[in-house]
Structure 1
Amino acid sequence: MLLKTRFYLPPMRPQCVIRQGLLDALDQTQGGELMLISAPAGYGKTTLVSQWLHQKPHTFSWLSLDKSHNSPRLFWQYAITALRQIQPALGQDADALATDKTLSAQEHIVIALLNDLDDLSIMNHSDKPVSLILDDFHLIESTTVLKSMNLFLDHLPPGLRVVMTSRTEPPLELARRRGSSQLRTITSEQLRFTLPESETFFNQTLNLNVPADVITHYYQTTEGWITGLQLISYSVHNQQGTASPPKMSPQYPGLDRHIADYLFEEVFCNLSTEFQNFLLSTALPRRFCAGLCNAMAGTHDALYQIKTLERDNLFIFPLDNYRVWFRLHDLFRQFLLQRLAILTDQEMQSRAQQGVDWLQQAGHYEDALALSIRITDWDRTEALLELLTQLSETQGLSDDAVRLLASVSLASVEPYPKLAATINQYCGASNGPEANIPSEASPYSNLQLSEPLTRRETQVLELMSKGLGNKAIADSLFISLNTLKVHIRNLYSKFGVDNRTKLLLKLNLQ
């Protein structure tokens, strides 16, 4: 007996942002083509297709898949029954073959179904193709089912298009289909909310009246991940009327519990122990490659594991065209770092130190510095700074290295006078306890920013508003130009802008 609810179109959510550009992309899919919507959990794949079918009605059949459909006979029984929503008499021969336990070759079922579809006039003479929706196709792992689906896709009638949603890229000869113009795709890059869509979601769809700069902060933190924004909205709703909105940023300890629970249940728990351990190793460095992961995880197959994670859309993004270096989505990285805290300090320290060793030997000194600072290995940090200072004797430390030093409190490195002196040299008093605390008496304390301004940032902003250039500001505050650049970048981030003109304009408007 088949479960009828597998064939029901999900209702259109009332709190839904209309994605007109993506709806048009779906509508442009032609008969005989596969539209693959592939992205990690929580990017609104099913919601988008449901929205499309409600907004642009046409003949379709819907099938929500689960793991039981890895049985070839059951899969095709469900597929045939779904297509009978179009024509009740469809697929009688194929259905008989699917229920015949003596038949071993699945291609006979597929061929019989394709012949029936080809005979339907609606498949050949309709102005608009019929759509077969296969939701959650990532749950299909059976090689037999995948092989028969390849055959089905190879011979689609001109009046039928297949729309799949999947968390992974299924092994359906996608490169060949792309080359023969039989494949269209929508990926996480297209699915993620834009900043205007995020503003619409918070202030029009949910009517939460969140300030624009705070929405910008949420958008940057989630990178437009739709479920991340949805879960943040729960916290915003719960804190309506409080003094400040919930803080979602790497600068704040902990992760919103709704997001942490979602990532644990929907992503982490569905991974094998092997991949869980591997991902935990990737979370410590700010970026990673196969060699670094092998060193940290004590494995020899990191390249395979990275490729698998990328194929499975596990919140991993390439940083170069050669796909050598990768990074994690920041919220997923924060979640993994929380999980990593469960490990013993000794085990985590050992993994990280192996990573620092590899990075230093490979010549990635600033990445090694970042990792040593993360694990507060001040002996190693001091040694790396000495090495970097020698290598850049004429030009001084790079902006990246200075930015890393600016994150270190002088109080935490007090037992390391040489390290403290280097930080003081490049960052001045900006790392002292007074400079890092919010400036409550500041004339800008009433501004609605993603984070309060520190006293040093307040001083920099006051001088910027008077029209002083960078050198004049640095001289006035007795800090280096590199240190000043760190403060200016922090101001841009807190005001949600990307240059001085926008910062001063926003300051004048407020």
Structure 2
Amino acid sequence: MANDLKMPARKARGAKAGRLEPPSFAFALVPTRLVEELTRDDVPLPKVVTVVAPTGYGKTVFSTALYKHVTAHGMHSRWIALDDRDTTLERVVHLLEDSLDAHQAELDPVQHLTRGDEPMEGRIDAVLEAVARLPDPTLIFIDNLGYCADETLGTLLDRLVFRTPSSVHFILSSTEQLPMNLARAKLEGRLREVGYAELSLRPAEVRSLLGPELCAQLGPEAVDSIVRQTEGWPAAVRLTQIILSAAERPLEALERFSGADEDLSDLLNRQVLADFTPEARQFLLEIAPLRSFCAELCGHATGDDNAAKHLALLLRRNVFVIPLDRNRSWYRLHGLFREFLIEEGQRTLSTERRHQVLERAAEWSERGGHWQDAIDYALRAGSAALATAMLERVAALFVRDRGDLRQYIDWIEQLHAGGHEVGWEAYFWYVWALVFHRRYDTARLQNERLTQRVEREQKAGRDPAQMADLKRRTEVIRACVDTYTDRLVDAHRLANAWLAGTGTGTGTGTDDPFNVATVASAAGISLSSVHRFVEARQVMRTAQAAIAQSRSAYGIGWVSMLTAMISVFEGDFAAVHNDILAALARSRVALGDNAGITRTIALVGAKCAVEMGQDEEARGLLAQGLHWAHTHGIVDTAAVGFDAALKLWSGRPDDPVSITQLREIASGYPPRLALMLSCLIVQRLVRLGRLGEALTEAAQIGLGITLSAERRLPAIEGIDNPRGRELYAAAEIELLIAAGQLRQAETLIAEETRLAKQDGRIARLVELALAETAIAICSHNPQPAARHFVRAIGLAARRRIVRPFRDRAETIAGLVNETKATAWGFALDEERKFFFEICNGLPLTNSFLVDHLDQLQGDNPLLETPTARELQLLSLIEAGLSNQQLADRLNLSVATVKWHLYNLYTKLGVSSRSAALARARALNLLAR
């Protein structure tokens, strides 16, 4: 979570008009043979059409013509156009997301932040899911792919081509060969390649582009001459059309025309711009650096009152100006023409003038909310002062509402590299962007520098209230960084001071609710990790109260998950299972299946499900949660997901759970997670009977089995944390039992039991009781084994802790098979039912027990109604009388009293006084 996120998020503005819809050309689109070929009813449209040709061959014109044709005939289409900013795979995926609605249109403010470092695999998968939901058939156009120089672009293109429904088709255009598996696409009959030869215009198409009026003025021979000179090159034909249409004597102008590539610049200078006034020519050169423009922007940037007239002239003469929207209010210059104008402007305009135009364009763009253009123009103008001022004003909106963290970081670091210092807000949001980009070391360093700046200003007496507030906000970042980097002791210390208002700030109670919830959550994470559950709940109540004041579904989901984690650590899975599923459902509705918090909640839900024995539910949640664990969550949320995954891992090569994948995820987290993962792997390998592999894994974390009774923990990161130490001890106990070193195991179990009781970790107590059961059975002591087992049942029943019993199914089956059905004494119905639920999952051979399972699970599982004497004994037991006192009171011998009690216990299905009383109360026998 982050600071000052009360405002609802605005829709991420992927581009101005024209990025997600085709341009509206001022000239009529020629129905070329290629369009006709691809739209013939008797020829199926290929899965992908690649259009690769140099600039000027009409790739965008062809794609636009095809788009208009198919949409006019009812085919669903989507348009995406790159520009020179879209050089990375992330930018291309972002445009696809916007076009396909692959993420929520109204992203939660904090979700925007966390999207900055979402794994690209997950985002591509979300795009593929969105593509699969498109109507049948659909044609997706991606124009200008040549701008993307990212070497991983091929991964995206291959998945679009080979992993989307056959009803979805693609038109991909570029100036360079596309980096996709063209050979496979050809072999599978998916590919239709279009090159410059097919884009070249035939004579009839040249005549159509020139228009009947111009052709009539020129005559057939002149038109044939144009076809020969241009060789069908669309750019040259368009130049010819522009020049000849503006000429008073077209035939004379044609004699001076040369369409050769090397003559283009001279041609543009001499012919296209020749009839423009110096003012109009100056206007063109000045607006050329603008990626897109409208009349108002042009007027403000150039200071030319006649900007609208100049623009109208360009449109009237059809000089390579392409309308970008249906209203024809926004335009761009054709790439070839723009490149020429920029180069010409660098030769003829002063640097000061070019920078002045860009600065004014930046100011106008900022006022219009076109932040990316505004800052880009300011930086290209070399105006660090203007860029830093803009960043100070729009930093929160750009980072928070748009979530374009990479771009923002690049801007700040570009300014830093030039020796320029940005303002407070810009710097503050830069640090947040680093945090959510998981560049924690850099974030910590930059946050310290920001803190030092604040302290210098405080000493200088500058605006004490503002500086104190900013200081508290930097402490929020520090608490987050400490939490994400697993410096939980530091995070807890800082969070306590901040919440108490005793930090370096004011603590006046005016803190933003998000800040309060963020810091309280950091404290809750720290306390939960050291098993201080009562304090953790108290501080999470503070987080819940604060986050309730926000509109953030993301923040509410985060706080709900962390609150539930407390019960998960305790082992009370039944208490929070439904809460987790409800939080997951809310997050899915509000944020989508692919939101980081949705997937992290799914991991916690998988832990609950697997411990409750609901393996299929757990597998589904893991499939969603693990996919996002690379970049979202903290050590402990990832660890519970790993725990669930490994408890379901079969050890087979084809298992959906991949140990390699888990190790890869762990490598992106602080070292404690890798330690915990190894401990979990050791435990699972032992339970799968692969002791040799378990010992090899254990050796990697300094865990070895020796005959020495002295136990020493290795100097390894993460083991000093109670959660890490707990899993280390659990792995050690498993190895000791498997190796037959039972005495050492018993010693360690006794110490672990003491700590678990002290902390209130019930699930751990169940595991330890079952470990004691296993040791007793190995030692051929069935009576202690049964006691330990009954204790485990008593702890597990209400909390639905099923998994530990399944993990020791064979051991428990052996115990149950050798024990009479009537010998098990349980105090409560829920314990009895839980016991028989466990038994139903065991390989039982005790026919008597099997025959009586259904009967004994009933609501009134009394084998026989107690006699009057036995009921009298019950009431006296409730009064607290001893066996001797019972004998004296009833004038019986002690032996007879014991006999009656034995019969009573048998009928009640218990084995002790306390259990008998509890059972009698449950059956309402004491009231008789």
The TM-score with structure 2 as length reference comes to 0.25
Structure showing greater radius of gyration is 2
The TM-score with structure 1 as length reference comes to 0.43
The structure carrying a bigger helix percent of its residues is: 2
Higher relative contact order (CA 8 A, sep 6+): 1
